[in-house]
């Protein structure tokens, strides 16, 4: 497999389970989002992937974030694009290995994982049907030159209003972009920092349930 991962098999055995793939944030690992796997619907096959770049001390990154001379942060775009390809290939590998339902693939990303979830879904039309983007934003540099007009994917987006890591203004651009491109999306904000509030969790869980 192209990425290391952990898995929670469906609690009710079905031949072609719906797939939920979890992509953690910068400096975290596959255990992070997996902590709420037990609370998610029983019929899901839940796979949590580990980012490829080892930062030491149990932390991993999908791509480097560097400081420039003025103290601004910039993303290593070539590395990010490599991760987009790795995740895209990994989705195919998991679908094949576990014979998941090809029409029910959910991609949930937090922070850097959310940025890449957008990129994967917009570069590989309909490889995933549903994207849950938590505390992330759409990075224009990771978009295809031309967006397919045949994307059926829908998006659940949420962000903390007092996020110190990724400003909420960055997140607010995503629903505008998606709506302009006729892509279904739901956007919500919570009075938290760079994290997932309990009511946020119940909200996207409900969103997933409606699509199973």
**Which secondary-structure segment (H or E) carries 173?**
helix 168-180
- Which of 34-48, 63-77, 104-118 has the lowest average pLDDT? 63-77
Confidence label for 73 from pLDDT (cuts 50, 70 and 90): confident
pLDDT of residue 151: 96
pLDDT of residue 65: 87
Average pLDDT over residues 142-164: 96
pLDDT of residue 28: 97
Confidence label for 94 from pLDDT (cuts 50, 70 and 90): very high
Average pLDDT, the chain: 95
Confidence label for 196 from pLDDT (cuts 50, 70 and 90): very high
The answer to whether residue 152 scores a pLDDT higher than 80 is yes
The answer to whether residue 2 scores a pLDDT higher than 80 is yes
Distance CA 130, CA 117 (A): 10
Class of domain 5-210: alpha beta
pLDDT of residue 14: 87
The answer to whether residue 92 scores a pLDDT higher than 90 is yes
Domain ranges of the chain: 5-210
Distance CA 130, CA 120 (A): 11
What percentage of residues in the chain have a pLDDT greater than 70? 99
Distance CA 66, CA 211 (A): 38
Query: Tell me: the pLDDT tens digits for 31-63?
Result: 999 999 999 999 999 999 999 999 999 999 999
E strand spans, 14-104: 19-23, 45-49, 53-56, 59-61, 65-67, 73-75
């Amino acid at each position: 497999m192209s990425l290391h991962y952990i898995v929670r098999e469906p609690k009710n055995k079905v031949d072609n389970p719906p797939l939920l793939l979890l992509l953690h944030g910068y400096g975290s690992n596959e255990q992070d989002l997996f902590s709420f796997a037990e609370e998610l619907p029983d019929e899901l096959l839940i796979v949590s992937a580990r980012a490829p770049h080892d930062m030491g001390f149990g932390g991993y990154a999908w791509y480097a974030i560097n400081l420039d001379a003025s103290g601004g942060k910039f993303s290593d775009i070539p590395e990010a694009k490599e991760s987009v390809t790795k995740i895209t290939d990994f989705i195919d590998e998991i679908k094949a290995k576990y014979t998941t339902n090809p029409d029910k693939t959910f991609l949930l990303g937090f922070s850097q994982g959310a940025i890449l979830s957008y990129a994967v879904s917009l570069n590989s039309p309909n490889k995933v049907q549903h994207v849950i983007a938590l505390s992330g934003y759409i990075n224009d540099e990771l978009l295809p030159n031309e967006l397919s007009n045949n994307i059926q994917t829908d998006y659940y987006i949420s962000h903390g209003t007092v996020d110190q890591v990724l400003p909420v203004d960055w997140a607010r651009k995503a629903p505008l972009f998606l709506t302009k491109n006729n892509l279904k999306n739901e956007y919500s904000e919570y009075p938290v920092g760079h994290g997932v509030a309990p009511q946020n969790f119940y909200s996207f869980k409900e969103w997933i349930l409606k699509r199973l």
